[in-house]
Structure 1
Amino acid sequence: MIFTILGWIVFGLIAGFIARAVVPGKDDIGILRTIALGVIGSVVGGLIFGLLTVGIRGFQPAGWIGSIIGAVIVLVIYNQVTGRKRNRR
């Protein structure tokens, strides 16, 4: 049980950091939000993958690529909702 939780934390941290590196601009969201970004992104990626392949299968996380894509989507939505990274002209 503890290794599963630690695995999700490490997985979320790595996926969240990669998503933050892919999305242009600076993110000041901290390590806990980065972990949450990666974990939520994994779930979103799993849902998207499920919808595109076999339909909704319930709660299933995605693999690395799906998790990163999901985390990028979640980060872009988060930036839009919170008003971060607006282009100032």
Structure 2
Amino acid sequence: MFASWIGYIVGGLVIGILARWIKPGADPMGWILTIVLGILGALAGGYLSQTMGITNTLVQWALAIVLAIVLLFIYEMIRKPKTRV
């Protein structure tokens, strides 16, 4: 069980870094938030691929990275300060 948690953390780190590298623009966030974002992308990608019946590991990783990028955009929209006119 401990090894699976380590796997999720390492996989989340890899997915989060890849998502930040692929997405254009600056993402001012720390390593912990990158890992959390990657883990959430991996969980969402795993759920979606299981729901769609996708068994190809490469496609599952690609889906997790795409969903992590979507989460990056959502995080950026929430975190961006509102400008007053």
- TM interval, shorter chain, is 0.7 to 0.9
1:26 pairs with 2:26: yes
Name the CA shift for 1:4/1:47 in 2 (closer, same or farther; >3 Å).
Answer: closer
Question: Quick one: percent identity of the two aligned structures?
Answer: 34
TM-score for both structures, normalised by structure 1:
0.74
Match of 2:64 in 1: 67
Query: Residues 34-73 of structure 1 correspond to what in structure 2 (within 5 A)?
Result: 34-50=34-50, 53=52, 63-73=60-70
TM-score for both structures, normalised by structure 2:
0.77
Q: Is the 8 A contact 2:45 2:61 kept in 1?
A: no
Shift of 1:42: 1.4
Q: Which amino acid aligns with 2:60?
A: G
> Separation in 2 of the partners of 1:31 and 1:68?
16
Q: Is the 8 A contact 2:49 2:60 kept in 1?
A: no
Larger helix share, 1 or 2: 2
Q: Is the 8 A contact 1:41 1:70 kept in 2?
A: yes
Shift of 1:25: 1.3
> Separation in 2 of the partners of 1:47 and 1:78?
20
Q: Is the 8 A contact 2:19 2:66 kept in 1?
A: yes
> Separation in 2 of the partners of 1:47 and 1:2?
21
CA RMSD in angstroms, aligned pairs only: 1.9
Aligned residues: 76
